Amino acid sequence: MRISTDEKERLMADIRPFPCIRPSREKAASIAALPYDVYSRSEAKLKAAENPDSFLNIDRPETQFADDADMYSEQVYQKAHDLLWERVADGSFIRDEKRCYYVYELTMDGRTQTGITACASIDDYENQVIKKHENTRADKEADRIRHVDSCNAQTGPIFLAYRSNETVERIVTEAKNQEPLYDFISEDGIRHRVFAIREDDRIQAVQDAFAAIGEIYIADGHHRAASAVKAGLRRRQLHPGYTGEEEFNYFLSVLFPHDQLLILDYNRVVKDLGGLSKQAFLEKAGQAFEIRQIPREGRRPQKKGNFTMYLDGQWYLCRIKPQDIPDDPVKSLDVSLLQDLLLEPVLGIHDPKTDSRIDFIGGIRGLDELERRVSADCAAAFAMYPTSISELFAVADAGLLMPPKSTWFEPKLRSGLFIHALD
């Protein structure tokens, strides 16, 4: 249900507890899996084969078929349904009848962030109470819509962010004093702990606090969010008498306070210098940036407005000239400035979403990966200073979109720990 601009000013976020389907305590560690979209098809098949319990078998059901099978066939999606509900039936998953919130704590390298697992409203998404900062692709949406419809459940939580709130943080802290439902370390060294918020007064306090916060932001999972919303809207069409209270009106989310989030750099490599010699390229780049050679130990950018470049075995510091930074939440992003001042005018990379000459390396891979790629198949690499959460909020608040591959959030939420059935 879309509403007027005046009405939007009065909107409150509707963040609800839900009756969760979740792993048994004994199975949680083996079921929990990284999101479906971090793997290629071949990687997913190998990973799923290693661990039959892994939720990846359900999230990527094509792993159960021959390599040449159509991964978008009806049989594949039916397999996801069958595996999920077979595991509910055999006790691998249990169903909480009471509507609860769940506290989800992740600790990576000694740093902890704690979110609330809940269901967010598709109306809030439609009315931009839940704000996005990325476009989505129809083909990727279609896959997850079919997965949601076939499973009759949402299986991958959307990573949301909110401006930190004292009430929510107090209740989260209190919940963490209880015995955890789960406490395990995943194979990548991240500790996962989950607690339930079951008390009616605390549930109401959390719901009221999010209503007062008002604005929620998609941090990661734009395709999962768009797919969940479209699946819900489709069910509204199939049920014209819907009340708005049905489970399909809400989608599975984990909401984190902004001051606990870690955004890593999202770096770039280019396959060639657009026909330029090294010297000609440096001269052209030097017209847009202040460039100087730096030692390898100084290769990581230290502040906004700086990036480093690896070219022919040498690292360079590139400083964006202050007068070239526009007063615009998108165009002032470092990734935008690199694109607008160097990649497009000097290298001729006009559309980084489709140009095969550019590739993107998540910060979790480290800067050694940039050096490796330049020695293997690329001409130059660019190490970025991470986009900040305040920059993300500013773009979303302005109703604008970030360039592709602007943010890399860590740690990644696990799939399979929380499932939201749609009826």
Residues 102 and 321: their CA atoms lie apart, in Å, by 46
Residue 6 has pLDDT above 70, yes or no: no
Q: What is the mean pLDDT of residues 328-342?
A: 96
The answer for residues whose C-beta is within 8 angstroms of residue 69's C-beta and 6 or more apart is 62, 76
pLDDT confidence tier of residue 5, bands split at 50, 70 and 90 = very low
| Residue 188 CB coordination number (10 Å) | 11
Q: What is the mean pLDDT of residues 230-245?
A: 95
What is each CA distance from 16 to 21, 47, 203, 211, in whole angstroms?
15, 34, 9, 10
Residue 397 has pLDDT above 70, yes or no: yes
Strand pairing category for 250-257 and 158-162: parallel
Residue 149 C-beta-side C-alpha neighbours within 13 Å: 18
Q: What is the mean pLDDT of residues 39-57?
A: 93
DSSP string, 27-62: THHHH-B--GGGS-HHHHHHHHHH-TT-THHHHSGG
Residue 2 has pLDDT above 70, yes or no: no
pLDDT tens, residue by residue, 50-91: 999 999 999 999 999 999 999 999 999 999 999 999 999 999
pLDDT confidence tier of residue 278, bands split at 50, 70 and 90 = very high
Q: What is the mean pLDDT of residues 282-311?
A: 96
Taking the model in full, what pTM does it have? Answer: 0.92
pLDDT at 161: 98
pLDDT confidence tier of residue 274, bands split at 50, 70 and 90 = very high
Residue 8 has pLDDT above 60, yes or no: no
pLDDT at 7: 47
> Among all chains, which residue has been given the structure tokens 């094509």?
62
| Residue 332 CB coordination number (10 Å) | 18
pLDDT confidence tier of residue 140, bands split at 50, 70 and 90 = confident
DSSP 8-state code for residue 158: E
pLDDT at 1: 55
Cβ pair 249, 242 in contact under 8 A: yes
Q: What is the mean pLDDT of residues 228-240?
A: 95
Q: What is the mean pLDDT of residues 111-121?
A: 98
Q: What is the mean pLDDT of residues 160-174?
A: 97
Average predicted confidence (pLDDT) for the chain = 94
Percentage above 90 pLDDT, the chain: 91
Q: What is the mean pLDDT of residues 250-272?
A: 97
pLDDT confidence tier of residue 208, bands split at 50, 70 and 90 = very high
DSSP string, 266-327: EEEEES--TT--HHHHHHHHHHHEEEEEE-GGG-S--STTEEEEEETTEEEEEEE-GGG--S
pLDDT tens, residue by residue, 401-421: 998 899 999 999 999 999 999
